[in-house]
């Protein structure tokens, strides 16, 4: 199988530097090694779309540490509390040739949206904020929608004592569900107000192949995602998975497609090559499975299909996608075995 599949194609997720043709980076970006932290994914999606030259390094989240394992000393030297994301600007005075030295971490950028704001201020030539005053005013309202949806999602991801949880907090109730639904309703309304989304009440998007008409897709200010769209996408992806969780979607029938413009926005951004999110995104099923890692026998938990059905579904994928999947499995046999054994290393 290894011989037939060859080497896996390079991915942004596994890169250590993204210079975009520059000779040196502008900054160093620290994120979690698993790509699970929502704040890191918001920051990374924006950074990648801005094409600011950067290098990156990773650290495991606390929940991924093996017994006795510590976070990397190099990381703890810049983040003693062990929190990500971390951004360090390059120190031009001390950097020479390929030996890059970075400044102390930028302060007050512990949340994804804060990283996005900081990047726009430090690198205005790469800014993804609109320039027209009317659109700037709308952008402020859109940022408020993002923060509201973020709070609604976080209500499900914090245990009563404040600690984060992989799954869904047992303390959530109807009030939290109403807040989430209202936030999605407001986002849907904002997407509907964009003339590039809907004309005469009909979508111009080919839902069987979103990429075929993606120029008229459903983003907040036009045919391409801008700063707030990019912040929303990783969050919306997690909301999509949250709605499928048995303790929420499984009991109330909530699914993201109930908000068709929001669903189209997410699906369009996942199209390969359209924007940075397509390189970094996951899918609802994978995120749901991760969120249920500590509660696999929960009532209503989706079960994997029987092996013959799984094989039939796999055979339906494009040959290149099957080759790439085989190459990735063969490239990391130990990790595959550990995952199959529900291991953490």
| Confidence check: pLDDT of 199 > 70 | no
Q: Domain 12-126 sits in which CATH superfamily?
A: Glutaredoxin (3.40.30.10)
Q: Which residues pair with 183 in a beta bridge?
A: none
- H or E element, residue 55: strand 54-59
- List the one residue out of 183, 199, 189 whose CA is nearest residue 242: 183
At residue 96, the 3 state secondary structure works out as strand
The span from the CA of 159 to the CA of 166, in Å, is 10
Q: What is the pLDDT of residues 205-245, one digit of tens each?
A: 334 434 444 445 579 998 899 999 999 999 999 999 999 88
The single-letter DSSP state of residue 256 is: G
Range list of H helices, 270-318: 277-280, 284-291, 307-315
What tokens appear for 283 in the block?
């899918």
| Confidence check: pLDDT of 81 > 70 | yes
At residue 202, the 3 state secondary structure works out as strand
The span from the CA of 281 to the CA of 326, in Å, is 20
pLDDT for position 205: 34
Burial of 79 (0-12, 13-18, 19+ CB in 10 A): middle
pLDDT for position 239: 95
At residue 86, the 3 state secondary structure works out as strand
Kindly state the average pLDDT of the residues 253-262: 91
The single-letter DSSP state of residue 66 is: P
Kindly state the average pLDDT of the residues 250-254: 66
pLDDT for position 161: 81
**pLDDT bracket for residue 295 (50, 70, 90):** low
pLDDT for position 246: 82
Averaged pLDDT of the chain: 86
pLDDT for position 206: 36
Kindly state the average pLDDT of the residues 120-134: 95
pLDDT for position 297: 52
pLDDT for position 66: 81
**pLDDT bracket for residue 49 (50, 70, 90):** very high
| Confidence check: pLDDT of 88 > 80 | yes
For domain 131-198+216-294, which architecture applies? Up-down Bundle (1.20)
What are the angstrom distances between the C-alpha of 66 and each of 71, 75, 90, 222?
A: 10, 17, 32, 46
**pLDDT bracket for residue 304 (50, 70, 90):** low
User: HSE-up of 161 (CA within 13 Å, CB side)?
Assistant: 2
| Confidence check: pLDDT of 196 > 70 | no
Cβ(85)–Cβ(38) under 8 Å? no
Polymer length of the chain: 345
**Model-wide pTM > 0.95:** no
Residues 6+ apart with CB under 8 A from 38: 112, 153, 234, 235, 238
pLDDT for position 283: 85
Q: What is the pLDDT of residues 278-287, one digit of tens each?
A: 999 988 888 8
Kindly state the average pLDDT of the residues 82-97: 95
Tell me the percentage of the chain whose pLDDT exceeds 70. Answer: 87
Kindly state the average pLDDT of the residues 39-47: 97
| Confidence check: pLDDT of 144 > 60 | yes
Kindly state the average pLDDT of the residues 133-162: 93
Tell me the percentage of the chain whose pLDDT exceeds 90. Answer: 58
Residue recorded with tokens 């490239």: 331
Q: Which residues pair with 219 in a beta bridge?
A: 222
Cβ(7)–Cβ(327) under 8 Å? yes
| Confidence check: pLDDT of 55 > 90 | yes
Q: Could you state, in order of their start, the residue ranges of all structural domains in the chain? A: 12-126, 131-198+216-294, 304-344
Long-range contacts of 308-314 (CB under 8 A, 24+ apart): none
Question: Quick one: CA dihedral 168, 169, 175, 179, positive or negative?
Answer: negative
| Confidence check: pLDDT of 296 > 70 | no
**pLDDT bracket for residue 303 (50, 70, 90):** low
pLDDT for position 321: 84
Phi, psi of 46 (to 5 degrees): -65, -45
pLDDT for position 47: 98
Phi, psi of 196 (to 5 degrees): -80, -5
What tokens appear for 175 in the block?
């009030």
Cβ(74)–Cβ(30) under 8 Å? no
Phi, psi of 120 (to 5 degrees): -65, -35
């Amino acid at each position: 199988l290894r011989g037939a599949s060859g080497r896996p194609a390079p991915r942004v997720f596994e890169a250590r530097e993204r210079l975009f043709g520059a000779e040196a980076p502008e900054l160093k970006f620290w994120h979690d090694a698993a790509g699970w932290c929502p704040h890191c994914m918001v920051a990374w999606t924006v950074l990648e779309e801005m094409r600011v030259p950067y290098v990156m390094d990773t650290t495991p989240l606390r929940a991924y540490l093996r017994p006795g394992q510590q976070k990397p000393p190099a990381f703890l030297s810049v983040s003693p509390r062990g929190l990500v994301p971390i951004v360090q600007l390059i120190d031009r005075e001390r950097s020479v040739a390929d030996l890059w030295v970075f400044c102390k971490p930028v302060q007050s950028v512990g949340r994804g949206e804060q990283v996005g704001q900081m990047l726009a201020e430090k690198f205005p030539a790469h800014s993804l904020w609109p320039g027209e005053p009317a659109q700037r005013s709308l952008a402020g309202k859109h940022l408020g929608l993002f923060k509201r949806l973020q709070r609604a999602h976080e209500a499900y991801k914090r245990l009563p004592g404040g600690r984060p949880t992989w799954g869904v907090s047992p303390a959530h109730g109807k009030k939290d569900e109403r807040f989430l639904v209202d936030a999605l309703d407001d986002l849907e309304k904002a997407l509907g107000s964009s003339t590039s989304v809907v004309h005469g009440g009909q979508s111009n998007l080919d839902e069987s192949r979103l990429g075929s008409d993606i120029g008229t897709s459903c983003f907040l200010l036009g045919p391409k995602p801008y700063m707030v769209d990019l912040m929303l996408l990783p969050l919306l992806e997690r909301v999509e998975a949250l709605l499928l969780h048995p303790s929420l979607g499984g009991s109330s029938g909530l699914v993201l497609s109930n908000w068709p413009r929001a669903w189209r926005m997410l699906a369009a951004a996942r199209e390969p090559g359209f924007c940075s999110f397509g390189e970094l995104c996951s899918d609802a099923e994978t995120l749901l499975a991760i969120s249920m890692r500590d509660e696999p026998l929960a009532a209503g938990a989706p079960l994997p299909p029987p092996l013959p059905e799984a094989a039939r579904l796999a055979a339906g994928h494009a040959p290149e996608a099957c080759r790439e999947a085989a190459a990735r499995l063969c490239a990391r046999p130990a990790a595959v075995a550990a995952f199959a054994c529900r291991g953490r290393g």
